[in-house]
Structure 1
Amino acid sequence: MSYNSKTSSLTFVIVSAEIAEIRIDARQNSRSLYSRKTFAKDDVIAQFGAKETFSEPTYLTVQVGDNEHIELLPEYLECINHSCEPNCFFNTTTLELVALKEIAEDEELTFFYPSTEWDMDQAFKCTCGNKGCIGMVKGARYLSPENIAKYRFTDFIAGKLKSIL
């Protein structure tokens, strides 16, 4: 258990792996994944696979095809939260989680949800606080051309975006 005076949060480590650990914020009851080591840009953070496959999106799935959504394995990867300035990317072609920029030890791992989702199961108002925040996070199909130009997308989502641009 630790207390962060900057954010006034009380956190507990609930799962710890070699590359990262899940922390739960006791006040907000939210899970996050934090790096346990430093990664350079383009480093493979982890390989992943499918625990289970679904034909429709769920809160915890990543889209890999029109009617194919996977629950991640290892399961701790499902605790990577959204950010409009992500530091990692789920490459669903190579099944690798890749660093988009240098990630310091003890830094929260984040990814841009629309990079893997065409039309999300549960849209939400982003609270990342970053300068370029997109506001409502609904899926790649709802992004402006300006936002599309700023992000890296999975091969599947990139193909879908080409079809509408």
Structure 2
Amino acid sequence: MREIQEGEELSFDYAMSDADDYDEFICECGEIGCRGLITGADWRRPELQRAYEGWFSNYISAKIRENSAAFDQVSE
């Protein structure tokens, strides 16, 4: 994350706050590195969890912890 300038255009990654299965759409932002297809399951992607660590909504952070705990139990 970084400081933003007054008047700067903002973008938002739905993976940081949304986990609904019905949310799936093609992103047309044109940014380098855009995933293209945005889904309600993107929060599960390890690369996004690393990139957004500490910036997810409380809701998504809780889902990540629950998912991780369930995975740890299966791995034991």
Whole-angstrom distance in 1 between the partners of 2:66 and 2:26: 26
2:73 is matched with which residue? none
| Unaligned runs of at least 5 residues, structure 2 | 69-76
Q: TM-score, normalised by structure 2?
A: 0.65
**Relative contact order, CA 8 A, sep 6+: which one is greater?**
2
Deviations 1:78-120 (A, max 9, x none): xxxxxxxxxxxxxxxxxxxxxx422112211222112110125
SS in 2 for 1:110: coil
Counting only pairs closer than 5 Å after superposition, residues 119-130 of structure 1 correspond to structure 2 as: 119=20, 121-130=22-31
- Which structure shows the bigger proportion of residues in strand conformation? 1
Match of 2:32 among 91, 115, 131: 131
SS in 2 for 1:111: coil
Q: Identity rate of aligned residues, in percent?
A: 35
SS in 2 for 1:156: helix
2:59 is matched with which residue? 156
1:146 is matched with which residue? 47
Q: What is the CA-CA distance between 1:154 and the residue it aligns to? A: 0.7
Question: How many equivalent residue pairs?
Answer: 65
Whole-angstrom distance in 2 between the partners of 1:123 and 1:110: 17
When the two chains are superposed, the root-mean-square deviation of aligned CA atoms in Å is 1.9
- Which structure shows the bigger proportion of residues in helix conformation? 2
SS in 2 for 1:161: helix
Structure 1 consecutive aligned stretches of length 4 or more whose deviation exceeds 3 Å: none
Bigger CA radius of gyration: 1
| Unaligned runs of at least 5 residues, structure 1 | 1-99
SS in 2 for 1:158: helix
Q: TM-score, normalised by structure 1?
A: 0.34
